[in-house]
């Protein structure tokens, strides 16, 4: 990797010298030496090239913001290794012509299915995915035997996550002017630079006469990203989730002092105040999640983590408020 390549890669990734140093676990002066012409070590080259390729695929490659803010080098290192492994897997599948068949991917349940084979996965804090387990209803599992099958599953899962990336694009919205019963329905298509703009357009026009059964694809019409039923549900989420999250936050804030005091000993006033402040801080995060929900950037897993924090602090919100949020955020 030449110094010019390195400079251009960092520019494309939007990384300053300080940010690149943090993500590569080196000192900023080391990055400066590389930019002056000193050889970039193999592991750093491998990570940077993997980041570029994932960036080009519109797939997550950066650690989550909390890891970056806390400078959690162990977590940053794990995500760096995950990015390299992800890129190698995607290239391995594409080198043999892509997945043999398309898997059914349920992002909310964390499950990819192909006939008798089921592959579980979970989403990482930075939006990427990690395989968890797999099983076969037609026999015993064998990772060595099923390596290509598992790679295909992972490839399809990564492809499915594109639709949750608001910056992914360009994409195309297809719609009809009505049902095709007894006539030939007219089809319209509109191109959008980002998924964010496309879904916002769909949600604004979903109840409009002449805008029927919309779906979203990449520029290749055969690569379906959102089918009509999913889009309708997504628009409902974006309408209901902000209000449900806001209602929960508004309940937590005035009741922050009503937490369960565990154990026989009474809490000292200072500790009581600290706990109340922590509960209020979680309420603020719930409010922020409500803002993110308006454009589809809120996931149930994020809410579940915040609910877990409240429970750990001894605060248990009303069940109806929690249920409203769950119904609004879970895709299905």
Q: State the DSSP code for 126.
A: T
Percent of the chain whose pLDDT exceeds 70: 96
pLDDT recorded at residue 37: 94
Looking up tokens 């391995």 gives: 92
pLDDT recorded at residue 57: 85
pLDDT along the chain (332 residues), means of 10: 93 94 96 96 97 90 88 94 96 94 85 94 87 92 92 93 85 87 81 94 91 91 86 91 96 89 67 91 95 86 90 92 91 60
pLDDT recorded at residue 262: 56
The mean predicted confidence, pLDDT, of the chain is 90
Cα 21 from Cα 30, distance rounded (Å):
8
pLDDT recorded at residue 179: 77
The first and second tokens of residue 80, run together, are 């760096």
pLDDT recorded at residue 184: 74
Q: State the DSSP code for 139.
A: S
Q: Which CATH architecture has domain 1-56?
A: Orthogonal Bundle (1.10)
Cα 229 from Cα 262, distance rounded (Å):
46
The first and second tokens of residue 190, run together, are 């509109």
Structural contact between residues 287 and 265, judged by C-beta atoms closer than 8 angstroms? no
Structural contact between residues 55 and 61, judged by C-beta atoms closer than 8 angstroms? yes
Query: Mind listing the pLDDT tens digit for each residue in 89-114?
Result: 999 999 999 999 989 998 878 899 99
CA angle 302, 305, 307 (to 5 degrees): 110
pLDDT recorded at residue 202: 95
Cα 126 from Cα 39, distance rounded (Å):
30
Query: Mind listing the pLDDT tens digit for each residue in 119-163?
Result: 999 888 788 899 999 999 998 989 899 999 999 999 999 988 888
Is 190 buried (19+), middle (13-18) or exposed (0-12) by CB count in 10 A?
middle
CA angle 143, 116, 155 (to 5 degrees): 55
pLDDT recorded at residue 259: 81
Query: Mind listing the pLDDT tens digit for each residue in 188-203?
Result: 999 999 999 999 999 9
Q: Where along the chain do its domains lie?
A: 1-56, 62-165, 171-226, 236-329
Looking up tokens 């922020």 gives: 288
Cα 200 from Cα 207, distance rounded (Å):
13
Other CB atoms within a 10 A radius of the CB of residue 184 amount to 7
CA angle 254, 257, 262 (to 5 degrees): 150
pLDDT recorded at residue 110: 87
């Amino acid at each position: 990797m030449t110094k010019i390549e390195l400079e251009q890669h960092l520019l494309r990734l939007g990384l300053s010298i300080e940010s690149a140093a943090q993500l590569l676990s080196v000192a900023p002066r080391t990055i400066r030496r590389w930019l002056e012409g000193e050889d970039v070590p193999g592991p750093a080259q491998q990570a940077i090239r993997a980041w570029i390729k994932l960036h080009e695929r519109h797939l997550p490659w950066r650690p989550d913001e909390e890891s970056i803010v806390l400078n959690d080098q162990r977590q940053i290192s794990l995500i760096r290794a995950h990015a390299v492994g992800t890129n190698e897997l995607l290239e391995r599948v594409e080198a043999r012509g892509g997945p043999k068949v398309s898997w059914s991917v349920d992002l909310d349940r964390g499950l990819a299915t192909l006939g008798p084979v089921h592959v579980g996965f979970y989403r990482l804090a930075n939006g990427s995915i990690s395989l968890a387990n797999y099983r076969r209803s037609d026999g015993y599992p064998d990772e060595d035997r099923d390596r290509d099958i598992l790679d295909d599953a992972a490839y399809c899962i990564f492809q499915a996550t594109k639709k949750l990336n608001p910056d992914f694009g360009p994409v195309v919205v297809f719609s009809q002017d009505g049902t095709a019963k007894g006539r030939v329905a007219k089809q319209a298509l509109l191109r959008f630079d980002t998924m964010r703009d496309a879904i916002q357009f769909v949600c604004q026009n979903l109840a409009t006469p002449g805008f029927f059964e919309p779906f979203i694809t990449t520029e290749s019409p055969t690569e379906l990203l959102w089918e009509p039923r999913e889009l309708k549900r997504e628009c409902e989420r974006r309408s209901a989730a902000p209000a449900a999250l806001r209602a929960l936050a508004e309940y937590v804030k005035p009741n922050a002092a009503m937490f369960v005091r565990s154990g026989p000993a009474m809490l000292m006033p200072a500790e009581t105040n600290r706990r109340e402040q922590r509960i209020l801080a979680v309420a603020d995060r719930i409010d922020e999640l409500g803002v993110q929900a308006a454009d589809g950037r809120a996931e149930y897993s994020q809410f579940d983590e915040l609910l877990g924090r409240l429970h750990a602090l001894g605060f248990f919100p009303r069940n109806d408020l929690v249920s409203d949020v769950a119904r609004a955020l879970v895709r299905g």
